[in-house]
């Protein structure tokens, strides 16, 4: 059966604020999923906590709205034990880079076979507008009434620092670009990390408007040179967008399978087969 975007819509009422960038990302993902050619029962979306983490409710696939910051850990267990699944992690700048920062970097360095989509709106939306790990210095919010003094994290630099094998950035308002990045992320085996600039019209409206207005984007293509990719990630005038890195390395499940095979060679089958079934 050929699936369409409609097949990936669930019966749940979508409950983001009017105008939220999450709607555009959801539509882009639903429009892209049929291309995967994977049956719905083999697709899993795992999220943490935050506005973006409502995502799995709205997709007619398997899904798991899990615990704060822990989506990469849960998805790691799934992807390592079920390499036949297409596993997606949905997180945000708060969920993925604050409470879940640790889980994120370890999934990246292990090259678990996941697609991680980090919606970056540079604010905590669900808890009503506190500064996040990607908010700019001087940001005035309810929790920083005279301006944030924290240096923001750059998610692309962080992912490259963990030597993630696929690292990209796209934006909610450019559906064609977003879908082209999703396509490349899905085709990559191992961890694909995609930062998506996402407008939060309620608590951080227009965070990316200047980029769009002036077309302040430099379109990048992957380089095998990690230092070069890192240098690109540090630029902001114009802001680089596209795929920074796309390299082949064995994924975590492949390494695990190889090691289990070696363990059987060394120690014999023993109870291993029973344990794995
Ligand atoms: Fe979207 Fe912001 Fe509303 Fe959350 S608070 S649903 S990010 S507009
Ligand atoms: Mg956020």
Q: What are the pLDDT digits (tens) for 130-177?
A: 999 999 999 999 999 999 999 999 999 999 999 999 999 999 999 999
Percent of the chain with pLDDT over 90: 91
The CA–CA distances, whole Å, from 216 to 87, 181, 237, 266 equal 33, 19, 7, 57
Assess whether the C-beta atom of 200 lies below 6 angstroms from ligand 1. yes
Assess whether the C-beta atom of 120 lies below 6 angstroms from ligand 1. no
Atom of ligand 1 lying closest to residue 19 CA: 8
Quickly state the pLDDT bin for 272 (edges 50, 70, 90): low
Longest dimension (CA), the chain: 65
Whose CA is closest to atom 1 on ligand 1? 20
Does the pLDDT of residue 274 top 90, yes or no? Answer: no
Round to the nearest angstrom and report the end-to-end CA distance of the chain. Answer: 30
The CA–CA distances, whole Å, from 156 to 16, 70, 168, 235 equal 26, 20, 7, 11
Whose CA is closest to atom 2 on ligand 1? 200
Pairing mode of beta strands 43-47, 239-246? unpaired
**Cα dihedral 219/223/227/231 (nearest 10):** -10
Does the pLDDT of residue 216 top 90, yes or no? Answer: no
Q: Which ligand is nearest to the CA of 204?
A: 1
Atom of ligand 1 lying closest to residue 198 CA: 7
Assess whether the C-beta atom of 16 lies below 6 angstroms from ligand 1. yes
Across the range 174-194, mean pLDDT stands at 98
Q: Which ligand is nearest to the CA of 21?
A: 1
Does the pLDDT of residue 211 top 80, yes or no? Answer: yes
Assess whether the C-beta atom of 50 lies below 6 angstroms from ligand 1. no
Contact between 70 and 95 under an 8 Å Cβ cutoff? The reply is no
Residue with tokens 């070696």: 262
Cα–chain-centroid distance for residue 266? 38
Quickly state the pLDDT bin for 212 (edges 50, 70, 90): confident
Percent of the chain with pLDDT over 70: 97
Q: What is the mean pLDDT of the chain?
A: 95
Ligand 1 centre distance from Cα of residue 94 (Å): 13
Assess whether the C-beta atom of 172 lies below 6 angstroms from ligand 1. no
Does the pLDDT of residue 44 top 90, yes or no? Answer: yes
Across the range 81-104, mean pLDDT stands at 98
Per-residue model confidence (pLDDT) at position 273: 67
Quickly state the pLDDT bin for 213 (edges 50, 70, 90): confident
Whose CA is closest to atom 5 on ligand 1? 125
Per-residue model confidence (pLDDT) at position 267: 87
Atom of ligand 1 lying closest to residue 15 CA: 6
- Paired with 4 in beta bridges are none
Per-residue model confidence (pLDDT) at position 275: 67
Does the pLDDT of residue 101 top 70, yes or no? Answer: yes
Homologous superfamily, domain 13-248: Thiamin diphosphate (ThDP)-binding fold, Pyr/PP domains (3.40.50.970)
Nearest Cα neighbor of 78 from 95, 92, 61, 93 is 61
Per-residue model confidence (pLDDT) at position 215: 73
Separation CA 43–CA 81 (nearest Å): 14
Per-residue model confidence (pLDDT) at position 30: 98
Contact between 126 and 49 under an 8 Å Cβ cutoff? The reply is yes
């Amino acid at each position: 059966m050929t699936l369409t975007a409609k097949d990936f819509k669930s019966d749940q009422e979508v409950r983001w604020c009017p105008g939220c960038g999450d709607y555009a990302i959801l539509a882009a993902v639903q429009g892209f999923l049929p291309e995967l050619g994977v049956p719905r029962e083999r697709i899993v979306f795992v999220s943490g906590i935050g506005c973006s983490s409502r995502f799995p409710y709205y997709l007619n696939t398997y899904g798991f709205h899990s615990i704060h910051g822990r989506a990469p850990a849960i998805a790691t267990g799934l992807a390592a034990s079920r390499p036949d699944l297409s596993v997606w992690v949905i997180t945000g700048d708060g969920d993925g880079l604050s409470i879940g920062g640790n889980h994120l970097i370890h999934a990246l360095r292990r090259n678990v076979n996941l697609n991680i989509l980090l919606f970056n709106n540079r604010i905590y939306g669900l808890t009503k507008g506190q500064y996040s790990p990607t908010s700019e210095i001087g940001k005035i919010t309810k929790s920083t009434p005279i301006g944030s003094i924290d240096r923001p994290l750059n998610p692309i630099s962080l992912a490259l620092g963990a030597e993630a094998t696929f690292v990209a950035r796209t934006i909610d308002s450019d559906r064609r670009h977003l879908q082209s990045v999703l396509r490349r992320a899905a085709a990559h085996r191992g961890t694909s990390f995609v930062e998506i600039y996402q407008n939060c019209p309620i608590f951080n409206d227009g965070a990316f408007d200047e980029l769009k207005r002036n077309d302040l984007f430099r379109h990048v293509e992957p380089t095998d040179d990690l230092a070069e990719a890192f240098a690109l990630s540090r630029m902001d005038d114009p802001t680089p967008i596209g795929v920074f890195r796309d390299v082949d390395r064995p994924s975590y499940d492949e390494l695990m399978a190889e090691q289990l095979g070696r363990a059987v060679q060394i120690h014999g089958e023993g109870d291993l087969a029973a344990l794995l079934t």
